[in-house]
Chain A
Amino acid sequence: MSSRTALSMALALCLVGGLLWQRTAGFSAFTYETWRQSQVVRQRPPVSDWRLQDDQGKVVRLSDWGEQVLLVSFIFTRCTSVCGALGVRYRQLQRAMEATGSKRVRLLSVSIDPAHDTPERLAEYRSRFGGARTSWTIARPADEQTLSTLISETGLRVIPDRTGGFAHSDSLHWIRDGRLVRISAWTDPALEGLLTDAG
């Protein structure tokens, strides 16, 4: 093998390696979900002031939470898989918040199926877990526009499954001061720390 060939091969290796490195955020993100997480940490994209309707029929806006850290998860009430686990997890976090008296974090479950999930159905979803309204809001997008806005702003992928429901991400979206600052798994143990940490 000539030195010219060896050099060219090394360059080619650098080229494809560099492209792989660039796409996978330094060989760390191999699926869209992890890639989305790494992009958010880097870019902290702004989110608009979503108009939502809660389980009492009241219209709420993202800006209502001010400087509190909002943990947003996406659910739909007909969901038979992860949405139940998300509800249990939120109730657990809520208990931890009540125990410490922390007001730093607020929880928000947003339905991705607003046509079906009326405020009554959202209230029924809450009753499955028994959480109080004070720190945990369950809501649906107030209009179609908000639904598509929040999907595009969070990079969420929602695809219909074969049972009339949806396959969607079960991650928690951290929103603070109108920016999406982090996306973490709902099982992330760091969430407990977030409830009490200052700063």
Chain B
Amino acid sequence: MPAERWRQWPLALTLAFCVAGLIPVTARLFEASMQAHLLVQMPLLAFCGGYWVSRSERLQAWLERADPSGGVALVLGSGWLIYWMLPLNLDLATFDPSVRLLKVLTVPVLLGATLTWSWRQLGPVGRGVMLMEGWAILVRLGWIYLISPVQLCSNYLIGDQQRTGSLLLGLALISAALAAIWGVFGPFRKTDRCQPE
């Protein structure tokens, strides 16, 4: 069915993006600057995994049996997020082919897919914690990269590092503003939901 097949193109696109992270020519495009590596390639790899989870009903059925609460996925996802935030791993992925392979294979699955699944399974409090923690990570990491007098990645110049730090803090600022707007006008208003019984 051509119509059915046509609908597969986003899936093909995500797979192509992952493969592009392995082909030296395209991999170097993403790894050339710290900003592209940490703020474009990594989030997009994670997004690919998240997309697979939200797209595949078979995968969801399997996850429903394996991890109905989303707790295991949350532990795996946040642990793997910490793993790939280390300057060491960012560095190694740019010149050690085995670490690059590990990145492309595991960031979509162990970071993107897991965090997406736990987000789907968690209640509002859990989601709030995830959002707050995600925001805190942006601030912490951005602040460290911005003020560190030491070049933390051997492969990226300190100017690159500081620009990445500023961008992370900028993202934190934007998300804080969005969260504030959501908090004031969104579904958390007392009048909307918390009516006395």
Contacts and interface: CB of A to CB of B under 8 A. Distances in A.
Interface residues of B, number: 27
A67 B96 CA distance: 33
A13 B79 contact: yes
B105 interface: no
Interface size class of chain A, counting residues whose CB lies under 8 Å from the partner chain: 20 to 34
Interface string B51-92: 000000000000000011101100110011011001111011
The secondary-structure label for the interface of chain B is helix
Interface stretch (B5-13, B38-46, B153-161, B162-170): B153-161
Interface of B: 67-69, 71-72, 75-76, 79-80, 82-83, 86-89, 91-92, 95, 151-159
Interface of A: 1, 5, 8-9, 12-13, 15-17, 19-20, 23-24, 29-35, 157, 159, 161-162, 167, 169
Given A19-B79, A33-B154, 12 more contacts: A5-B68, A15-B76, A19-B83, A23-B86, A31-B87, A31-B91, A32-B154, A35-B88, A157-B95, A159-B154, A161-B157, A167-B151
21 contacts: A1-B71, A8-B71, A13-B79, A15-B79, A16-B75, A16-B76, A16-B80, A20-B83, A23-B89, A24-B88, A30-B86, A31-B87, A31-B152, A32-B153, A32-B154, A34-B88, A35-B88, A159-B154, A159-B157, A161-B157, A162-B159
